[in-house]
Structure 1
Amino acid sequence: MPPIIMILGLLFVALFVLVTVLEKYGKKRSDEELSQISRFIFPLVGIVLLAQLLYMLFR
């Protein structure tokens, strides 16, 4: 079996286990907490994209 298929299989199993455990034992968050967290998502994604672009240009 090619190694890439084994890696993808392991990642899928790990993701499945992680999601089920987090759904069972995870803390429920209020809408206010989620809105505070979500307002940082787009700036962080932009910073990461800019950093990756600069890395690719000056590599």
Structure 2
Amino acid sequence: MGNLLTILVILFISLFVLVTLLEKFGKKTEEQDLGKLARWIYPLMAVMLGAYLIKYFFMS
């Protein structure tokens, strides 16, 4: 139980540090960039679902 708590504390601290650094130094995204990223979401989700189904049915 102590190991789990230690890992969770380290994860939350690192997440806090990363979020604050990204907010400070990250570049601003534009609408055009977001549109380019958004068109990849559905195909990547389909690939991920297909990979999960293959893993579930054939490797379990």
Q: What's the TM-score once normalised by structure 1's chain length?
A: 0.83
Question: Partner of 1:48 in structure 2?
Answer: 48
Question: Partner of 1:39 in structure 2?
Answer: 39
User: How many pairs does the alignment contain?
Assistant: 59
Would you identify which runs of 4 or more consecutive aligned residues in structure 1 move more than 4 Å?
A: none
* 1:3-57 per-position Cα deviation (integer Å, ceiling 9, x unaligned): 1221111111111111110110001111111111111112212211220121121
> Which structure 2 residue ranges, 5 or more long, are not aligned?
none
Question: How many Å separate the matches in 2 of 1:5 and 1:49?
Answer: 32
Amino acid of the structure 2 residue aligned with 1:21? L
Question: How many Å separate the matches in 2 of 1:41 and 1:10?
Answer: 30
Q: What's the TM-score once normalised by structure 2's chain length?
A: 0.82
What's the RMSD between the two structures over aligned residues?
1.3
Question: Partner of 2:18 in structure 1?
Answer: 18
Identity value in percent: 44
> Which structure 1 residue ranges, 5 or more long, are not aligned?
none
